[in-house]
Structure 1
Amino acid sequence: MMAAGVLAAATEARIAVPATLAVAGFDDMPIAARLSPALTSVHIPWRTMAHDAVRRLFASHLTPEPMIYPAPILERPSTAMPTPDLSRSALDPGRV
């Protein structure tokens, strides 16, 4: 939800997302796709992870081993390749 706050603050400060500032989230909340611009996010399979953890807890005969899960990046309009003229000075509040 912090990334949603960054989008709101950027909009209020009239900072162009993603032209000047790229924003990405980590938890792919359902609202991420409905924000403006839609928020790029990493999708974490929480439900699968919880299911597997409970299964392992009750299956004491299973030997401990690492559990690895995919965490795909869902690219949405809040991120884009920087333009060639984009520089650090573009983030200067005096320019906004």
Structure 2
Amino acid sequence: MLTEETLERIANAAAALRELNEDALAGLKQIWPDLRFTFCSDDDMPARMPPALQRNKFNLYLVGGGEHCLSLTTDPLQAIGVVLAWVDGED
């Protein structure tokens, strides 16, 4: 389960990162060891899946782990992780 407060805290921590990479994910995993983290471009996310939280430079999507298979979910009660998807745009 992922609460709205935890998702906000993850977003704040991600916003403080200089870049999204494996080292950054390792830092997030230290703070939230029970959650799975991954990153990709927002362009790689399916259009039918709305982000759980949007920021200027990235969106957060929820990862569910039901039925022994990881998948995206919109249900925070099923969430076991987060995808940090960077948004390409003009600065």
Q: Report the structure, 1 or 2, having the larger helix content.
A: 1
Same fold by TM (over 0.5)? no
Larger Rg, first or second structure (1 or 2): 1
Q: Report the structure, 1 or 2, having the larger strand content.
A: 2
